[in-house]
Amino acid sequence: MGEVPHEAVVDLLGALSYAQLSGFEALAADAAMTPHLRAKLAFARMGVEMFHRCEQVGLRLRELGADHESAMAPFVTSVDAFHERTKPSDWLEGIVKAYVGDGIVRDFYSEMATHLDPANEAFVAQMLGQAGGAEAIVHEVREAIAGDARRSGRLALWARRIMGEAIHATQSVAVERDSLTALLVGGEPGSDLNEVGRMFARISAAHTVRMEALGLSA
Amino acid sequence: MGEVPHEAVVDLLGALSYAQLSGFEALAADAAMTPHLRAKLAFARMGVEMFHRCEQVGLRLRELGADHESAMAPFVTSVDAFHERTKPSDWLEGIVKAYVGDGIVRDFYSEMATHLDPANEAFVAQMLGQAGGAEAIVHEVREAIAGDARRSGRLALWARRIMGEAIHATQSVAVERDSLTALLVGGEPGSDLNEVGRMFARISAAHTVRMEALGLSA
């Protein structure tokens, strides 16, 4: 593998960081919509974990001599557009979005990070390997849809829409910057768009597993 | 000082905890409204600090054999009503509310805690003594109002309204439960409502100092 330019590392970390920051904001908004205190605390915890990841990436960027805010700035528009297009209408939609979206973001950046140098790859893998509270919310969703076929049908449709929008958003982020497009297609001689297709197939398969965990049909 | 009943301790910690949880939600919503990434991060950090305080109180409640959610539940209505009546229309209003409101909440609970047993008093004092990121936002507000008399006039009026609503809300919380009303008036023979008046005078004086820090007239 050729050397990944510094710019690509900074872009990847900047995009990842802003995804976590906006994920924090979305989860806090879900917590605010949630009437049950136990679930409210669970969603707030997951949001706070996301913010910690944003801060961890910020520290990493500074270690690399880059500015945290400048690194995030190019990705604000596409990430915000994702959230604008997927405004949940209640806390259940919010939390399904958080769970599904967080899973896709983690899978996507983990895949992208395999093209980085070993030290940065390890940093991203270690950070995204933390469960981050996502599993705790599965229980809340399962309990809310138990025995309610109409509600679970509605949420399954919603999750499918989130999946589509999240894939679209991650692709938008990747083509936002030439450096990330190069990362996405591997940046190596002989790499091609088939590999990109296979990557999204893997992300899609992982999504199906998460939907089963929630008790929703994918 | 007579012994403070267990119920009053649990109520005070429950009210304090829910104030921090809803403060977290409000600050995250402010962060989401904020276009500048540096300020967004500062507000998110302050919100996360509030959530940590909520969690700290939760642990303390469990140590005392009480349930975190049950302890918060009686105070949801009055705290939510405060936030409902003080919805900021932009990020500057949001952040002035957060700074002013957080100050009043900290002063109020610190005062209330002086009536608790030494161990619980120390716990509350230690927790509320942490700066919690509030000071970092003063800079953002000062910068935003510099040389803009109209904007600073509008924010000064807004801060005065927040002060009034926050005092009303803390009083509502205190009279919500007999145990807290007893704490508020000292719970001792000879204590009286004059002391309550003096307490609110002290909170009001501290508010004036904070307004000066922001560069707003109180």
Show the domain range for B14: 6-214
Pairwise pLDDT comparison (A215 vs B73), residue with the higher score: B73
pLDDT > 80? residue A193: no
The number of C-alpha atoms within 13 Å of A150 and in the hemisphere containing its C-beta is 0
In a domain, A54, yes or no: yes
Give per-residue pLDDT as tens, A100-148: 998 998 999 998 898 899 999 999 999 888 766 667 778 888 888 888 8
Q: How far apart are the first and last CA of chain B?
A: 36
SS3 B90: coil
> Containing H/E element for B4?
none
- In chain B, the number of structural domains is 1
In a domain, B146, yes or no: yes
Say if the Cβ atoms of B69 and A38 lie within 8 Å: yes
In a domain, A77, yes or no: yes
- Residues of chain B under the 70 pLDDT cut: 1-4, 131-134, 186-193
pLDDT of residue A175: 80
Which residue is closest to B33 within chain A, CA to CA? A25
User: How close is the nearest chain A Cα to the Cα of B36, in Å?
Assistant: 9
Q: What is the pTM of this model?
A: 0.89
pLDDT > 50? residue A97: yes
pLDDT of residue A141: 85
Contact A104, A163 (CB under 8 A): yes
CB-nearest to B31 from A25, A55, A76 is A25
pLDDT of residue A185: 72
In a domain, A1, yes or no: no
A138: tokens are: 């599965």
DSSP-derived secondary structure for chain A: -PPPPHHHHHHHHHHHHHHHHHHHHHHHHHHHH---HHHHHHHHHHHHHHHHHHHHHHHHHHHTT--HHHHHGGGHHHHHHHHHHT--SSHHHHHHHHHHHHHHHHHHHHHHHTTS-HHHHHHHHHHHHS-TTHHHHHHHHHHHHTT-HHHHHHHHHHHHHHHHHHHHHHHHHHHHSHHHHHHHT-SSTT--HHHHHHHHHHHHHHHHHHHHHHT---
What value does the mean pLDDT take over residues A189-217? Answer: 81
Total residue length of chain A: 218
CATH assignment at residue A196:
1.20.1260.10
What value does the mean pLDDT take over residues A169-182? Answer: 83
pLDDT of residue B1: 46
Give per-residue pLDDT as tens, B33-70: 998 999 899 999 999 999 999 999 999 999 999 999 99
In a domain, B1, yes or no: no
Contact B82, B166 (CB under 8 A): yes
pLDDT of residue B177: 83
Pairwise pLDDT comparison (A218 vs A154), residue with the higher score: A154
A107: tokens are: 């899978």
Sequence-distant (≥ 6) Cβ neighbours of residue A129 within 8 angstroms: none
pLDDT of residue A1: 45
- Chain A hits for B21, Cβ within 8 Å: 40-41, 44
How high does pLDDT run on average in chain A?
88
Contact A19, A105 (CB under 8 A): yes
CB-nearest to B72 from A28, A37, A45 is A37
DSSP-derived secondary structure for B92-114: HHHHHHHHHHHHHHHHHHHHHHT
Interface of A with B (CB under 8 A): 21-22, 24-25, 28-29, 31-32, 37-38, 40-41, 44-45, 47-48, 51-52, 54-55, 58, 68-69, 72-73, 76
DSSP-derived secondary structure for B152-203: HHHHHHHHHHHHHHHHHHHHHHHHHSHHHHHHHT-SSTT--HHHHHHHHHHH
Angle of the A6-33 helix axis to the A37-63 helix axis, nearest 10? 160
Please, which pLDDT band fits residue A176 given cuts at 50, 70 and 90? confident
pLDDT of residue B33: 92
In a domain, A32, yes or no: yes
In a domain, A53, yes or no: yes
pLDDT of residue A2: 53
How high does pLDDT run on average in chain B?
88
pLDDT > 80? residue A149: yes
